[in-house]
Structure 1
Amino acid sequence: MLTFVLLAAALTVAGAIAVAIPLLKSGAAAEAAAPAPWAALAATALLVIGSAVLYVTWSNWPWRSESAPADSPQSMVARLARELEHDPQNLEGWLMLGHSYIALQEYPLALRAYERADRLSDGKNAEALTGEAEVLALTDEGELNGRAGRLIERALALAPDSGKALFFGGAVAARRGDLPLARARFVKLLGMDPPPNVRPLIEQQINAIDAQLAGAAPVGGAGTSVASAKTPAAPAKAPGPPAEAPAAAPSAAEALVRVNVTLAPSLAAAAGSSPLFVFVRDPGHPGPPLAVKRLESRFPQTVSLAASDAMIPGRAFTSGQSVEVVARIARSGNPVGASGDPLGEVSYRVGRDELVSLVIDHVMP
């Protein structure tokens, strides 16, 4: 490769001389042109040095002995993608690639990988169908009402005991108002011994559905949680000492989001006994929240969210990440926002910010 650089430099010098000779000849005719030889030599040096530096910088030759760590997530995923180019019929490989791209939040690439797996299986692989639905829901939660929802129903028909399909299937059924089916799916999932960080979320969904089924009264009767049925929820009142929402004790190294939620006086009458949802989302990546809690509407209230509150296993906020924290009073009791729900939001830097004030001061349009 050194030979190549020297050869390139020699050719560059030859080209520069071809340009310089006319300048030198014209310089003999007039003294004003005397600086021309120096300009030609300067141009030659610049071209020689510049060509060598630019080639080293932009070429794909491995000039440095050290390289990026071969075991980094990005390099492993890239290696798997290259392997699949030579083995395009590897169904398990495409499924693994789709899962890996989701972990890297490369959603368009994940969707392509799962669609490839779906085609290879002739539409008969539940994991491929669920993967497609998951990517679509992570990109746009509204897809659960459309294509993602249909994919989940197909996956459940093929694999009725798929934990991930049951999780999304419960959400799909709840969104379309089929609460008994949503409850049945969440209860079945709860009996499959889900991970500890997912179990509380499933229990919250079941409790919310039970409250809606039991309190299907017209306005004001729905949305009461099991806890509030045992202990009547107090209406919104004047600010007092903030109450700490129950939270699993995080380890010292665990990322934590803490907000003090208050309600604007102008919206005090809108709270009632409706549940309060506090969730963390990534403003740069639409989709399900990174963490969520369902609480009673008591104000002020200090809420702590950790990785154990993640909505989807493996998709949680991390230290140093910029997120948005949203507090919403669900007047219908439904986790999905509806027009007229009071809410507030605040930006939060995980690991840097401590207790931040979050005011519920406007309503969803």
Structure 2
Amino acid sequence: MMTPLMTLAAMAAVALIAVVLLCLPWWRQRPADEAERRALNVATYRQRMDEIDQELVGGILDPEAAEQLRAEQGARLLADTDSGAAAVVAGGGRRRPLWLWILLVPVAAAVGYSQQARWSLANDIEIARVDPETGARLAMARSQVELQARLQQTPDDAEAWATLAQLQMASGAPATAAASWARATALVPDQPDWWVAEAEAMAAERQQDLRGPPRERIERALALAPDHGKALFYGGMAAAQSGDIELARARWSRLLEVHELPPQVRQVVVRGVEEWGGAAAPADVAVTVEILLDPALGEVLGERPVLWVFAKAVDGPPMPLAVRRMQPEAFPVTVTLGDADAMTPELRLSRFAEVELTARLGTGVDVTAQAGDPEGRLRLQLPVTTPQRLVLDSRVGDGPSTTP
């Protein structure tokens, strides 16, 4: 006579056989690891949420469009959890023997229980929508647990160690992140990004002191990739902290030569090179302009709510050097255009001596001028140090649409 425990064991064995038969095609295709994929997808989701917030603040998106994009990203992340199930359905056209369908009964029950994981993820997405910080913490915590469980079984997976280290660093645990990066670099020692990341984690634990072990990791990265951007940046800082000002200046000067840096980082590097006695690259150029609307044009914001402001080189390529888009509630409006708004790294305001600024109200579909759009233009010799005034005092003439 079978005991309840024996019955349960028999049911588990039957379910296991069915799962093995069904999963053989998947195993032959060697799909990506679920834990690592989820970790990367959650990180991508969080990054896209940040981008949507930045576009909303910058006027590129209105609140309604931003909310729609957030919902789409959440739905996309949730749908991703169903991709494995979809693959099974896609391959279900083949006829199965009756005995196999009988075996699928306990599997169906297991699938029902597995839906709890989907509801949990859906709950995380809803939390992320209402409280992005809490949602991100929950998602990263779950991903870390899954990766740690996986690494118990496959401790030689360098990519998994690197992904775990990124999550730990993002969670504010630099010490554990440094240990995970150390496991990754020990397995794959020819990845300069990983050596720099390990140095970052170690420095964060040491109040940004890059001397000693962190600098050793940075030097390993520079040996592999002499023009590695972050390695040059941290290598300059480490050299300065160690008193080697000449090396620090050389590395940051090289950084300015070979990399297009974000404006804030560029300012720090330029200032550092100047303080260390080197010839720094030209500072970024920016133009601040106050835009006014001529009362003679009447009330136009209702039908043309989007303000485009762009700069073009007078003697240069036809494409704009910098563009800003916004939805003003009233005039005047103050706008700053600079190298940070450049359309491409090669075409920046600082590379031209004379530019023409154009401000135009439109429907917002695109920057192309339409007949009747209010606009104003202003030519400037660069650089300028005082705010400028630009008045929307005319309308685009009747006729075919024009480009900026």
When normalised by structure 1's length, the TM-score is 0.37
When normalised by structure 2's length, the TM-score is 0.34
Larger radius of gyration: 1
